[in-house]
Amino acid sequence: MDFSSKLLEQAVDQMSQLPGIGKRTALRLVLHLLRQPETQTEQLTKALSKLRAEIKRCRNCYNISDTELCDICANPSRQEDLVCIVEDVRDVMAIENTGQYRGMYHVLGGKISPMDGIGPSQLTIKPLIEKVRDGKIQEIIFALSSTMEGDTTNFYIYKQLEGSGVKTSTIARGISVGDELEYADEVTLGRSITNRIPFENSLKS
């Protein structure tokens, strides 16, 4: 792409670093911003800078949060001894949208994926095991996407929990294999949490 302006080229280069944004789309977005009042670009850059500078990880569940303890963990009406294990904040949002779940979460921050160089120590598995050892958790629900990485991660955690006495279950799969949790419709997802099955049963199939 030949640019008549270095400034334009730099902005397009930065924009096209984002996933799913090619150079053409990046150019369209940048030109759109140029046509809008300057305040719109200011608000966008300010929101992003503020996000990066101030965002926190909840000290209990590792969800993205504005405060030390996220709104879900700070809510006294949530069931504290029931913990749903998810990959990231999008899964928390998807499950919250169902309105069917009143327990807590534990956000792993990814899945075990040797191909991408992600091992258990890069995820928040250790603090999860510690929470279980502290005896604060009665039941764990595995809600990772049913990909090979998701299954590997579930099984790894399940093995770590052996002998702890904690009940383990997995969301019933109305969701077909390989579907990401965030794309499941709310009714199906809600039902699959309510009708969760013992984790052992999912291993036999």
| Site for Zn ion, rule CB under 5 A | 58, 60-61, 63, 70, 73
What φ, ψ does residue 142 adopt, rounded to 5°?
A: -80, 125
Q: Which is nearer to Zn ion, 136 or 173 (CB)?
A: 136
Q: Which is nearer to Zn ion, 30 or 108 (CB)?
A: 108
Q: How far is the CB of 105 from Zn ion (least distance, A)?
A: 7
Q: How far is the CB of 31 from Zn ion (least distance, A)?
A: 40
Q: How far is the CB of 58 from Zn ion (least distance, A)?
A: 3
What secondary structure does DSSP assign to the chain, as a single string? ---S-HHHHHHHHHHTTSTT--HHHHHHHHHHHHHS-HHHHHHHHHHHHHHHHH-EE-TTT--EESSSS-HHHH-TTSEEEEEEEESSHHHHHHHHHHT---EEEEE-SS--BGGGTB-GGGTTHHHHHHHHHTT--SEEEE---SSHHHHHHHHHHHHHHTTS--EEEE----SPTT--GGGS-HHHHHHHHHT-EEHHHHHH-
Q: Which is nearer to Zn ion, 70 or 125 (CB)?
A: 70
Q: How far is the CB of 57 from Zn ion (least distance, A)?
A: 9
Q: How far is the CB of 163 from Zn ion (least distance, A)?
A: 27
Q: How far is the CB of 196 from Zn ion (least distance, A)?
A: 21
Q: Which is nearer to Zn ion, 70 or 89 (CB)?
A: 70
Q: Which is nearer to Zn ion, 27 or 70 (CB)?
A: 70
What φ, ψ does residue 141 adopt, rounded to 5°?
A: -110, 120
170 burial class (0-12, 13-18, 19+ CB within 10 angstroms)? buried
Q: Which is nearer to Zn ion, 30 or 58 (CB)?
A: 58
